[in-house]
Amino acid sequence: MNQLIQSLVDAISAGAVLGLAALAIGLVFGVIRLANFATGEIITAAAYSLILTWDLGWYISIPISIIVAVLISLLMELAVFSRMRNHGPATLLIASFGLSFLLQRVYELIFGNNVRTAPIASGLAQSVDIGGIRVQMLSVTTIVLAAVLLIALQLFLTKTSLGLQLKAAAADFKTARLVGIPAGRVIGLSFALSGILAAAVAFVLTVQSGAVGPSFGVRITILALVGAVIGGIDKISGSLAGGFLVGFATSMLASWLPQEMTNFKDAFVFVLVIAVLLFKPSGLLIKGRGVVRT
């Protein structure tokens, strides 16, 4: 019983992280049909920032990592994606692959191939006793962090004019522009929010691992993309739900698969994904929409 609850809490936390990562991808996709694989390198940049500046205190290090993530995200849009507005989702995805590999090499050049380490928020690595059940402090923190971010995002999207503009653009970019919503404004906003979410993901992952290397963000991004696609990447809530599901399933498999099979947990998740795509492809396909880009 105790073990079940522990694994459930861990799985919810893993789902929360992956949900945030998938949301980072889904927010941008909704507006410009870009499934940004290089979101992983935004996460990596935020992780390097945390690890390299942790000495200065968390209250400096965390803001730095958020700022770095937002700037890199906006820079990607300005330097690369804004020049590719007339291309379809497939081309944009491939371009983001290229950008991802390029940035990994850049990180390697700057920081070397070896991992950099720092004990990020080591206090969270302990477990706590809640009503007689021992749970990871980090899992609880992750769940709270994700909940706070999601509530804040939801309030932003529904209660502010800028948030409504983003929501409208994500639903129907062409009409949003005809109504007078500036394309540059909502695109920039989606990349900035994506950066903030990536920084949150980086925080949780660096607390877990205490280390960062050039390809730090790749695995979670693959899983997040998969999650976003099964959930329905063209809807913000779809990405979030799909990401959560994949994270939750991966974590549960890690807890309950026999020892000798845990290395294959990702493989099991992908089998699950293939099954979902086979049996319910209709609700999961991306609706192709013409997007006016000038």
Partner 1 sequence: MSTADTRQGLHVENLEVAYNGVPAVRGISFEVNAGEAIGLIGPNGAGKSSTLLAIMGATPRTGVVTVHGHDISGLAPEKVVRTGLALVPEGRHVFTELSVMDNLRLGAVARRDKSTYKSALEHVLDLFPILRDFGHRHAGLLSGGQQQQLAIGRALMSDPDILMLDEPSLGLSPTAVDTVFEALDVVRKAGKAVLIVEQRAEFTIAFSDRTYVLHDGVITLSLKPEDADNVEVLTEAYFG
Beta carbon of residue 80, minimum distance to partner 1 (angstroms, whole number): 20
List all residues 6 or more positions away from 82 whose beta carbon is below 8 Å from its beta carbon: 187
Beta carbon of residue 290, minimum distance to partner 1 (angstroms, whole number): 10
Beta carbon of residue 173, minimum distance to partner 1 (angstroms, whole number): 11
| Residue closer to partner 1, measured from CB, 63 or 182 | 182
User: What does the CA dihedral 197, 198, 202, 204 come to, rounded to 10 degrees?
Assistant: 30
Cβ proximity of 221 and 21 under 8 Å: yes
**CB neighbours of residue 24 within 10 Å:** 33
| Residue closer to partner 1, measured from CB, 116 or 174 | 174
d(CA 185, CA 158): 17
| Residue closer to partner 1, measured from CB, 16 or 186 | 186
Beta carbon of residue 183, minimum distance to partner 1 (angstroms, whole number): 6
Beta carbon of residue 30, minimum distance to partner 1 (angstroms, whole number): 11
CA torsion through residues 155, 156, 160, 166, sign: negative
Half-sphere exposure of 95 (CA within 13 A, CB side): 18
Cβ proximity of 38 and 21 under 8 Å: no
| Residue closer to partner 1, measured from CB, 15 or 232 | 232
Footprint of partner 1 on this chain (CB under 8 A)?
161, 164-165, 167-168, 171-172, 174-183, 292, 294
| Residue closer to partner 1, measured from CB, 157 or 273 | 157
